[in-house]
Structure 1
């Protein structure tokens, strides 16, 4: 299975002349929960999207479960290595990306489009079990528009879990929610962390990040500037990190 769930090596990403990621390295252990924090425009979302091929790499390598997954421009989303491996990566977006004309249950039973598995749905028992896990089983036959944002995001988490991924990426999963709905989503994520799921979370929720993460990564200007356990970071001497935390 490889020592690491995921390895990102020397990740570079530019849009035209604008360099967004400037050589990022990250090794993620099995069962590790990593939160990525940092100011807007630091490259956090771009980075998490390069880890599953939603953004192509200009340079760098991503290995998944000890096997090659993405590399520079060569291992693209059409390669067999990518197709074999992508099913091991779940993703939860800022916007919930549910199909409006399908019920909650149908949404969870549909393998996400980017997995290229539209012919292989998720069976109903698995889907219901995952809805139960996020506290949404009673809403299985409703449509997304009948749910609050927090409920929709919990359904999106159930959909990611239904693929039984080895690792789940969360891209600011609460940033589109009304403040009073944020906690119900964070609670579900905290429970998953306790269950030992490997998770990488881009988030603005500082207290949450420091509470549930094994490691917090501070990104700024396309680099990882500081990282460590929540405990270690309490004693960080990095001025830019301390300044960021003071503001938040």
Structure 2
């Protein structure tokens, strides 16, 4: 059953910013404090701002199972050395703090995050899904967002077709073990569920980051695919290493979802790294 309108929204109908430092579970406060302390040491005066996103600032993280997700904005465009530094910091935090299962860091220049091209993708991500950790909160320079805006749906997930060939390459290159396949299943499951949800977000008239709730919203409008997305939501939390799951994603669910998304919302505007 579709929830009442307004879920995850402000009284004015905008997507409410999710997460806050106050919601960080006690088990994760030390690792968040370490990230806040070390990021300025890594990037110095080039650091513009930093954010948490994902389950930790939402308060739903599970010790030993959840990763630490960071978004870092620099005053200029990041270099390969900056990305290597982010990986090194993530590896150090992962080794030091047993309560996290990995660290993922998104690294961008401030100008790109505030650009017109990214206003309904990375800009929306910062304004709605990121919790300020350090520096100026760039959300103050971005608009308010509504779930029924077709531009938001197109720009957030209208590029699934571009990812599918890359996913096939990653699957082929992975070791033939369950351990190697589980991270791929987790990542691809989450991506597909979120894409399925934004496909129907305008009709559902709300916002959620809960994978099961996303799949349920999708299934109300596409019952013939509901079981597939519900299974993907479960694998997003507890992945399996079954190669058949990965094949179904790139040969069946993924292509269908990419085609339906393009039909309903159109295709995401090309970025410099994807144009041509």
Same fold (TM over 0.5): no
Q: Which structure is higher in RCO with an 8 Å CA cutoff and minimum separation 6?
A: 1
Q: Which has the larger share of strand?
A: 1
Q: How high is the TM-score relative to the length of structure 2?
A: 0.27
Q: TM-score of the superposition, structure 1-length normalised?
A: 0.29
